[in-house]
Chains A and B, each alone.
Chain A
Amino acid sequence: MELLERDSPLRDLQAALREAVAGAGRVALVSGEAGIGKTALIDHFASGQRAARVLWGACDALFTPRPLGPLHDMAGQLGGEWPARLNAGGQPAALSAAFLAELQQRPALVIVEDIHWADEATLDLLKYLARRIERTTALVVLTYRDDEVGPRHPLRALLGDLATSNAVTRIAIAPLSKEAVHTLVGERRLDAGILHQQTAGNPFFVTEVVAASGSGEPQSGSPPTVRDAVLARAARLSLSAQAVLRAAAIIGPRIEPWALAEVTGAESVATEECLHVGMLVAHSDALAFRHELARQTLLDTIPPPQRLALHRMTLDALRVHPATRNDLTRLAHHAEGAGDREAILQFAPAAARRSVEAKAHRAAARLFELALRHADGLPPAEHAQLLDEFAVECDVTDRRPEASDAYRRAASLWAQAGEPLKHGYSLTQFALIQQITGHKAEAEAANRAALELLEPLAPNAPLMYAYNMEAWLSLANADNARGAAMAEKGLAIAHRVEDEGPMPRLLEVAGLCWLYLDHALGMEYLKRALALSLELNHTLRAGNLYSNLYSIYVDFHEFERADELLATGTSYVREHELVAMWALMEGWLAIHKLHRGEWAEAERIAKQAIERGPVSPGRGPALTALGRLRTRRGEPEAMAALDESLEMLLALGFRQREGMIRAARAEAAWWAGDRARTLAEARAAFNLALTHQQPVYVGELAFWIWRAGERVALPEWAARPYALHLAGDWRGAAAEWERLGCPYEQARALADGDPEAQTAALAIFERLNARPAADELRARMQAAGTRIPRGPNATTRENPFGLTARQSQILALLAEGLTNAEIAARLHLSPKTVDHHVSAVLARLEVESREAAAAIARGQKPLSP
C-alpha cells in the first residue's frame, strides 16, 4: 500500500532509530485520531529498515485487557526463555529488568500499539523503560489515539513523565490533504473535494468509502460516518462472509484461524473472501480486522442472542486449545459475553488473581467485580474470599467506598461461615478504610467489634492487625498513651505468631504513639521500622517511614538530619514511584525551605504540592508553609491558606500537629494587628503542645503569647532559641537561630536587640523581602532615633564582600535557591550573563559552589565539602 504524505514522520522515525542504534536509546510517541494511519506508518517504517530487530506488540481494546499483553505478543519474537518466563508470571519488576537487558543486547525496534488501551502493568513497564531508555540501543515506538486520552485517563501519567524527557520524539500524524484524497479516489466517480470534507481527511474513512464505492457506479451520496462506510463495504460480501466477519469481531481483536474455523463451521471457507477484499488481514500467526474501528462497527451490528451464542462458541474453542486455555482474562471476557455463570466463576477470579500478581490492579478489580455479580449462591466462605480480594483492589485503585462496602459484606459472610479470624480481619480492614475516609465513629465501632471477637482466641495474626488499628485510631484521637499500649500488645503478638510481615507497620505505629510520650523511644521505633522495611523490601512501608521521619525532623527543627534524610528518602520514593509519599515529603519540604530562608523555593514547592489536588498528602503542610510565607511577606490570603490547613487537620484527626498551624495563625494574626486573636490562636494549642512535649510548638506558641503581652511559663525542654528569647537573651536566641540556619527567626531575635543588631536584622528582613517585619522595625528604629541605612540598594552597595550591586542582587537570589535560569528570568537578563555573574561571585567569595556562596549570603559558614 502506498503511503501518502508521511515523509516527515518517517524521517523523524528514521532519525530516532539512527540515534538509538548509535547507542542512545529513544522513545517515539506517535499520536493521532483513530484511522489516521498510525499502524500503516509504523509497518512501513519497520519493514523499510534493516538496522534493528523488530519486536511488535499491541494493547487490546478489551474492557479488561490482558496484563502485559504487548509483552506476551513479543514473547515469540524474543524467543529463548521468554515464553516460559511470561507464562510463569512472577514479579513485574523482574520482567521489566529482563526486558531492559534484552534491549541492551543489540539494536531493537520495539513497537507497542494503541497504548491508550494499555493495562496498568504495561504502563508501568513503559514508564520503567522510558526512564532508562538512553542506556539501550532501542527505539521504542508507542502509538496512541490522542483524542481518547482525556485529563483523567491512566495514560496521562506516562505522558506527563515523558514530557520532561530528552529522549522522546513526539510525532503527530496529520489528516490527508485534498490532493491525497484525490490520489486515493483515482479513476472512480467520487468527488474528492466532498469526500475530503466529509471524512476530514481521515485515511481509514476515505479508503472505506472508496472500497465501498465499487467500480465506476456514480455515487448518490457517500456514507456520512465511518460506521456507515464499513457497513457498506461489508454489505457487498456474501452472507457467509458476513457471518465470518461477525464471528471474527467477537473472537478478536486477535483472531486465531483455528478458532475462527471452529466457530464458523462449514462457512469458514468464506474467510478467504474476507481476506481477499481486505476486511480481514493476516499477521504472522493470527488474523485481524484491518482496523479496530471496523471490528467495533461490526460488533455493534450483532443481535444479542447471536452475540451470546458466538461468545459461547468462542469460549468453547479457546478453553481447550493449548495456545489459549491459559489466557484467563480472555476466557473470562467470553464467559461474560456468553452469560455463562459457571465459566465466569471459573475464570474471572483466577484471571483477577493473575492480574494482581502482574500489578494490573484496575483490571483485577473489574474481574473480581465480574465474578461477584454472579456470586450469589456461592458458599459463604468462597463469596467472602472474593469480596475481601475485591476490596483490596478497590482500595489500591481509589475506589474506597466500594472497598469499604465489600469488607463489610465479607465480614458478615465470614460470620455466617463460622470463620472468626477472617471475620475479625475483614472488620479491621473495614475500620481502616472508614478511618481514612473520615468516618471515625464507624471505624472505632468496627475495630472494637474485631477486638471483642479476636481477643478471646489464641494469639492470632488478625488480632495483631486489630491492635495496630486500635493504636492508629488512638493516635488519631491524640490519645498517645492508649495508642502506645495497643501497639505494644500488637508487637507482643507478632513475636508469638512469628510473622515478620506486619512488624514494620506495628513498629511504625508504636513509634508514632511513643513519639509524643518519649521522643527518643519513638524515634528509635521509627528507625527500626524503616530498617526492617528496607530489609524486607516493603517499599510502601519504607516510603511511608521516610516521609514520616522527614516530616518529624522538620517539625522538630532538626534540620541537619532532615537534610540527610531528604536525600536518601527522595531517591527511594522516586525510584519506587511512590507518588503519595513523595507528595507528603514535598509538602514538608516547603516548610523546611521556608525556615531555611529559601522563600522563593518554598513558594514554588508549596504551590506544586497544592496543585496535586484536594486529597494530596502534602497539601496540609504546603498550605501552612504558604500561609506563613504570605504573612511574612505581607501578601494577602495568608489566613485563608491557614484556615484550610486547620480544617484539614481537624477533619482527619491527628491533632498532634495542631501546634504548628496555630503558631502560624498566631503569627498571621499578630501581623494583622490583632493582639486578641494572636493570643487566642496561641492559647488554643498550647496545652496540647505541652502534653505532647513538642519543644518547637511550645516554644513558638509561648513566644506569641508573650509577644501579645501575657505571662507564660516555659518548661525547660522547650526549644532553646525560644527559651533564650523569652528569658531576654536576644543575642543567644539569634545565635541559636543562626546555628539552625533560620534567617527570618534570627532577624526576629536581633530585632529585639541593640541598634547594631537591629541594623543587621533589618538587612536580613529586606533581603528576604519580609515587608511587615522590615517596616515595623524601621519605624521602631526611626522612633528611637537609630540611624537607618538607605534602603535595599544601599545595603547591597555597602556590601562587605566587595561585590557590585548587580552581583549582590544575584547572590541574594542565589541564596533563595533560584537556578540561573530563574534568576535570568527574574532580572530580565540572558542566562549567559547570569552564568558570568555567578562565576564572578564565586571567585570573589573564594568558594567553589553555589551552595557555599548561598550559605555565606545567609550569614552562615559554608559547609565543608
Chain B
Amino acid sequence: MPRYLVEQTFAEQLNVTANDEGARWAAAMLGNDARDGVTWIHSYIAADKRRTYCLCDAPTPAAVRRAAQRRGWPVDRITEVHVLDPASLR
C-alpha cells in the first residue's frame, strides 16, 4: 500500500497532550481514517503548532482526502513518499 505525506496548515494551533483525553482523541482519529482504508502512522508538527506533516498508508490519494474531510482537517498537499531510513540501508 502506498505511503503518503500530507501537508496541512491550520488556522488555529493544534494542541494535543499525552493524557487520557489525548489518547481518546487519537483513537477517534484512527477509527475515522480506517473507514477510508487510511492508516495514520504519525505526524510531525511544526513549532508554531499550525503546520503539520502527516504520514499515512492509504490505497489512493482520494482516500486520504476523504478521511481528512471527515476529520475536518484542511489539506494543502498529498505527496506519495517512500521511506529512506539510514538504518534500513546498512
Contact = CB atoms under 8 A, between A and B. Distances in A.
Contacts of B75: 243
Interface stretch (A140-148, A298-306, A521-529): A298-306
A239 B66 contact: yes
Interface residues of A, number: 19
Given A239-B66, A239-B69, A266-B4, A306 B76 contact: yes
A263 interface: yes
B61 A240 contact: yes
Contacts of A266: 4, 61, 78-80
11 contacts: A263-B77, A265-B61, A267-B77, A267-B78, A270-B62, A303-B11, A306-B74, A306-B76, A308-B9, A309-B7, A309-B9
Interface of B: 4, 7, 9-11, 50, 61-62, 65-66, 69, 74-80
A318 to B, nearest CB: 15
Interface of A: 238-240, 243, 263-267, 269-270, 303-306, 308-310, 313
Contacts of B9: 305-306, 308-309
A195 to B, nearest CB: 32
B79 A265 contact: yes
B44 to A, nearest CB: 16
Contacts of B79: 265-266
Nearest to B81: A266
Nearest to B75: A243
Nearest to A241: B62
Dominant SS among interface residues on chain B: mixed
A310 B7 CA distance: 11
A411 B88 CA distance: 62
Contacts of A243: 65, 75
A308 B10 CA distance: 11
A240 B74 contact: no
Contacts of A305: 9-11, 50, 74
A265 B78 contact: yes
Given A240-B65, A267-B77, A305-B50, 6 more contacts: A238-B62, A239-B62, A243-B65, A306-B74, A309-B77, A310-B76
Contacts of B50: 305
Contact of B77 (A239, A265, A303): A265
The 8 closest A-B pairs by CB, nearest first: A309-B76, A265-B79, A266-B61, A305-B9, A239-B65, A309-B9, A265-B77, A266-B80
A269 B77 CA distance: 13
Given A266-B4, A305-B9, A313 B66 contact: no
B12 to A, nearest CB: 9
Dominant SS among interface residues on chain A: helix
A305 B50 CA distance: 9
Nearest to B79: A265
Nearest to B80: A266
A267 B76 contact: no
A263 B79 CA distance: 9
Nearest to A269: B61
Contacts of A313: 76-77
Nearest to A302: B74
A236 to B, nearest CB: 15
Contacts of B78: 265-267
Contacts of A309: 7, 9, 76-77
A303 B12 CA distance: 12
Contacts of A263: 77
A243 B8 CA distance: 13
Nearest to B10: A305
Contact of B74 (A238, A269, A303): A303
Contacts of B61: 240, 265-267, 269
B80 to A, nearest CB: 5
A243 B65 CA distance: 9
Contacts of B66: 239
A120 to B, nearest CB: 36
A313 B74 CA distance: 15
B73 to A, nearest CB: 11
Contacts of A304: 11
Nearest to A310: B76
A665 B65 CA distance: 81
User: Residue among A269, A270, A309, A310 with the most chain B CB within 10 A?
Assistant: A309
Contacts of A238: 62
A305 B73 CA distance: 12
A304 B80 CA distance: 25
Nearest to B4: A266
B30 to A, nearest CB: 20
A310 B76 CA distance: 7
A263 B7 CA distance: 11
A270 B66 CA distance: 14
Nearest to A267: B61
A277 to B, nearest CB: 16
B80 A265 contact: yes
Contact of A240 (B10, B62, B80): B62
Contacts of B11: 303-305
A265 B65 CA distance: 12
A525 to B, nearest CB: 65
A266 B77 CA distance: 8
A309 to B, nearest CB: 4
Nearest to A247: B77
A270 B64 CA distance: 14
Contacts of A308: 9
A309 B7 CA distance: 9
A309 B4 CA distance: 18
A267 B66 CA distance: 12
A313 B69 CA distance: 21
A351 to B, nearest CB: 26
A181 B49 CA distance: 52
User: Residue among B50, B62, B66, B80 with the most chain A CB within 10 A?
Assistant: B62
A276 to B, nearest CB: 16
A528 B40 CA distance: 81
Contacts of A270: 62
A266 B80 CA distance: 6
B38 to A, nearest CB: 13
A613 B50 CA distance: 54
Nearest to B69: A239
Contacts of A267: 61-62, 65, 77-78
